[in-house]
Amino acid sequence: MVEFILIPPDQKWDKKVIKLANEYNDLVRKWQLKNDKKAEEKIRDFIIKIEDSMIKETNDKIKKDHAFMIQLIEERHQGMDLFTPEALVLEEHMLGRGTSDEELTFKEMGSTETAPTSQQPFDIQSIDLTKIDLLNLEKITPDDLEKSDQKCAYGDGEILDEHGNVDGEIWRCKGCKTVYHENCLRVCLLMKGSCQICDVNFLPRK
């Protein structure tokens, strides 16, 4: 069983990321009291929510705050495989190779700068879908969804938010009819190049 550990939220993070970190810590405290399988499953489900929030986020600064939080959790649970490889790759793109604990120490020493990293942060939105010859995909509207709470094939979160809105375009696989958030599709193209569900190719073969 995983030994879940609390993380120290950085008060300079965006408020939505601080809220996620506090909710994660609340679940960890409950697990520490009960230490049962159900409490562990709630934490693992919430980690999926954190990943999905990072992938769907369109603001690069807030996305980086997500990545920093994920790195804090990852560093405290090494070898536990709490996060998907896709989320970890996106986290590394956003933060470079510096560790989050090193950055925390750097800030606690009074510096207003962030710890130096060896890579420039990667903005997932820099992948321009209009310049890619996409295969087996089509853009759809919210009205085309099979149901209002239909989930994204990649991020595992619902396509529409609680108000029935969506950030960016909705893309649908012509092979299996599963759907993707725009940013989730970008990550899927970066990591896999084919449908997460049916494996039909989204990119031309070289």
Does residue 2 belong to any structural domain of this protein? Answer: no
> What is the total count of domains within the chain?
2
Same domain membership, residue 29 and residue 85: yes
Domain that residue 70 falls in: 15-108
| Selection from 94, 59, 55, 50 nearest residue 189 by Cα | 55
Same domain membership, residue 165 and residue 104: no
Burial class (CB in 10 A: 0-12, 13-18, 19+), 189: buried
Tell me the C-alpha distance between 168 and 179, whole Å.
13
Return the pLDDT at 204.
80
Same domain membership, residue 101 and residue 134: no
Tell me the C-alpha distance between 149 and 160, whole Å.
7
Return the pLDDT at 1.
61
pLDDT in tens, the chain (206 residues): 678 999 999 889 999 999 999 999 999 999 988 878 899 999 999 999 998 888 888 888 898 899 999 999 988 888 888 888 778 888 888 876 544 444 443 344 333 444 444 445 556 667 788 888 899 999 999 999 988 889 998 866 789 988 888 888 999 999 999 999 998 898 888 878 899 899 999 988 75
Return the pLDDT at 59.
85
Return the pLDDT at 201.
92
Same domain membership, residue 99 and residue 20: yes
Does residue 177 belong to any structural domain of this protein? Answer: yes
Same domain membership, residue 90 and residue 44: yes
